[in-house]
């Protein structure tokens, strides 16, 4: 839960909801081949797609901040 709290703070600092941060991280991650939106209502789909409006906020610095928080990069894999 501590990592989630840090990610939520990062998302707020960057200026987007945490679920947009998560979706955009998946989109920017070269090891993720597909980003699947699990929307069950049209409103959720529209909101999820709205993350693309924040794509410019996903800088190398933000990606490095996420990596610093989650620390889950496999050994031997270079940084983004």
Q: Which ranges of 1-80 would DSSP assign to H, the alpha helix?
A: 2-14, 18-28, 42-49, 60-70
Task: Give 25-78 pLDDT, tens digit per residue.
Answer: 999 988 888 999 988 999 999 999 999 999 999 999 999 999 999 987 766 666
The verdict on residue 48 lying in a domain is yes
The verdict on residue 77 lying in a domain is no
- Give the model's pLDDT for residue 29: 86
- Give the model's pLDDT for residue 46: 96
**Other Cβ atoms closer than 10 A to 56:** 8
The verdict on residue 58 lying in a domain is yes
Residue 27 and residue 35 in contact, taking contact as beta carbons nearer than 8 Å: yes
The verdict on residue 79 lying in a domain is no
**Other Cβ atoms closer than 10 A to 50:** 13
Q: What tokens appear for 6 in the block?
A: 């840090």
The verdict on residue 49 lying in a domain is yes
Interacting residues of 26 by C-beta distance below 8 A, sequence separation 6+: 32, 35
The verdict on residue 80 lying in a domain is no
The verdict on residue 30 lying in a domain is yes
- Give the model's pLDDT for residue 8: 97
- Give the model's pLDDT for residue 30: 82
Q: Domain containing 9: what range?
A: 2-70
Number of domains in the chain: 1
């Amino acid at each position: 839960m501590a990592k989630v709290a840090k990610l939520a703070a990062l998302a707020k600092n960057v200026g987007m909801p945490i679920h947009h941060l998560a979706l955009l991280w998946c989109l920017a991650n070269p090891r993720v081949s597909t980003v699947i939106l699990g929307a069950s209502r049209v409103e959720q789909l529209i909101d999820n797609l709205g993350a693309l409006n924040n794509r410019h906020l996903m800088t190398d610095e933000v990606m490095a901040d996420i990596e610093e928080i989650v620390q889950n990069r496999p050994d031997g894999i270079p940084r983004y």
